[in-house]
Amino acid sequence: MKKYLIILMFFSLLFSDIKEQMFEFAGTDININIPINNQYKCDKLTRSFFDRPMATADSLNKKFFSLKEKTADNKASFLNCWNIEPSAEDIFISIKKRIDFMKKRDLKEVSENLDWFLPNLRPKVEIIENPVIFPDSVNLANSRRYRIAEEKKQIEMLKKLSETEIFSEEETEQFIADLHKFALQLKENLPTELNFKKNYLKIAIGSPGNDEYDVLPDLLIETGGNDIYYAPKASENELKIIIDLDGDDFYTGKDSVLSAVLGEIFVLDMAGDDRYFGEDFSVASVFGGTAVILDEDGNDIYKACDFGISSSKRGFSAIIDRNGDDFYNAQSYCQAFASCDGTSYLLDENGNDIYNASSPHEDIIRYEDHQLTMAQGFSIGERPFRKGGTAMLIDFSGNDVYRCDVFGQGAAYWLSSGVLADLDGNDLYSAMQYCQGAGVHLANGYFLDISGDDNYVSHSVSLGCGHDLSFGYFCDANGSDEYSADVLAFGAGNANGFGFFEDKNGDDLYAIRKASRSLGYGNSRREYGSLGIFLDHAGKDHFTYPGFKNKLKIKSRNGVFRDFGDE
């Protein structure tokens, strides 16, 4: 933003109908205009945020409001986007097609250098003492603990892997939908034939009793019982599919449970209270491949350590949980986390859920008593070498609890996009910093809560904050909400960033410690400034800091605050 444009806008606000102007401005587009060379070419969502931040946010809002309407009866979902009813033969052909496609890829060099990437191939002590597995700002700033040789090797291997052709996201989503419909057909007509081959696929059909598996065929169909899967990762060019039709099942193991390293794994569990337990790099985690868990019903528990519960690096990961009160528990890099060229989804369609990220990794640059979580709709690139990805956590309904520490809840760092959207329910969000709609260093964080009386707790760079040429967006569309933050929050722009905060309805409470650097704040940096906008459209609101209720304020030259009250 150029200074003169901002000044002209402010004069326009002051000398015309204030409310109409603010509503109009909230829907317009502001071009952050970041010059990014080809080395840092962003994914489509991140680029659109940079080019048209408000228009992109508005487009996402419309999509999520539409999702809320379509899923109100719990019949429509992400899985109902395709109308094809695949036969068994269609499924077998699709599986064979994916296997043949992967076998054509030359991944020998990348495969031989996996120890540069995967945390569970290293001693735990080395991970903590020399945290280089997933580089971020902490690694780079702490050069004493960062080895240049490893840094160069990772970048070299990532570049080679990025040149390798993979299935598009649309093709994978179609494949998931086909598998889901095939699984629903199997529930109505249970298969009985045991251990047969079809189109050169290894297919096994389990018993209705309690079974245990430590080796997986290409396709395993388990008809019932409380089963135990010692489920290893899908390795180079492997494809593993599990369809479990019923039972309270346990997925566990010692080596990267239900993950994919240069391969693909799909798990469809159609009923039962299930447990998905892994350590590092587990539970729908991906490096150079695809990992998907679809759980149709039941109160489930998902547990992992670092890089788990839908995490990706150059690949596609997804957890789709359609029903039940679920518990997602991990340490860091988790619960819809994406790194370089990764795409990660965590979609929970129904139930009162808990998302907890408790990390052992100290945030040594900022707070020794806080930890790096990087979770719950968070994406990060490898600054300054490579762009990140897109991470998206969507919870469709239920009274949910979200807890993380530093980095998370709809946030992103370095040429990435992080999204958290909760479509319904009275929710609790707790985090420390870089969270709840925060973009940091050429990145974009997006947060939307459509309905419910919610509670938000954070410290800083949160609730719609853009830091360093970044965009942070926060919107709570309905409900009487309670907010608590210290500084650089509630629509704050810092170091040429753009922060936008909007509460559309309800009687809200705002607890703020440093109002001078929040509530519509933008500072002046370099040859142009930052921009912060705060809008509360309706309701009887209360501010713990005096002088803000039902007021319009032009703050810090580059900030706008407006509480419309009951106008």
120-148 pLDDT tens trace: 433 332 333 333 334 444 444 444 344 45
pLDDT band at 73 (very low <50, low <70, confident <90, very high): low
In a domain, 131, yes or no: yes
pLDDT at 355 over 90: yes
pLDDT band at 325 (very low <50, low <70, confident <90, very high): very high
Provide CB contacts within 8 A for 16, sequence distance 6+. Answer: none
pLDDT mean over 161-172: 79
Q: Is 192 exposed, middle or buried (0-12, 13-18, 19+ CB in 10 A)?
A: exposed
pLDDT at 27: 45
Pairing of strands 521-522, 482-485: unpaired
Q: Is 149 exposed, middle or buried (0-12, 13-18, 19+ CB in 10 A)?
A: exposed
Q: Can you give the C-alpha Rg of the chain in angstroms?
A: 24
pLDDT at 33 over 60: no
pLDDT at 198: 63
pLDDT mean over 430-457: 97
Instruction: For CA atoms 509, 66, 79, 47, give the dihedral sign.
Output: negative
In a domain, 452, yes or no: no
In a domain, 115, yes or no: yes
Q: What are phi and psi of 174, to 5 degrees?
A: -60, -40
pLDDT band at 567 (very low <50, low <70, confident <90, very high): low
Lowest mean pLDDT among 66-70, 190-194, 400-404: 190-194
In a domain, 499, yes or no: no
In a domain, 129, yes or no: yes
pLDDT at 79: 57
pLDDT mean over 7-34: 43
Number of domains in the chain: 1
In a domain, 151, yes or no: yes
In a domain, 432, yes or no: no
pLDDT band at 111 (very low <50, low <70, confident <90, very high): confident
What is the residue range of 148's domain?
A: 106-162
Pairing of strands 559-563, 552-555: antiparallel
Residues pairing with 171 in the sheet: none
pLDDT at 561 over 80: yes
pLDDT at 530 over 80: yes
In a domain, 182, yes or no: no
pLDDT at 118: 60
Q: Rounding to the nearest 10 degrees, give the CA dihedral for residues 138, 139, 140, 141.
A: 50
pLDDT mean over 55-72: 85
pLDDT at 4: 31
Q: What are phi and psi of 342, to 5 degrees?
A: -100, 155
Determine the 3-state secondary structure of 352 from DSSP: coil
* Residue whose token pair is 């430590």: 214
pTM score, two decimals? 0.88
Pairing of strands 354-357, 315-321: unpaired
Reading the block at residue 533, the tokens are 């906008």
What would the pLDDT profile of 475-515 be if each residue is shown by its tens digit? 999 999 999 999 999 999 999 999 999 999 999 999 999 88
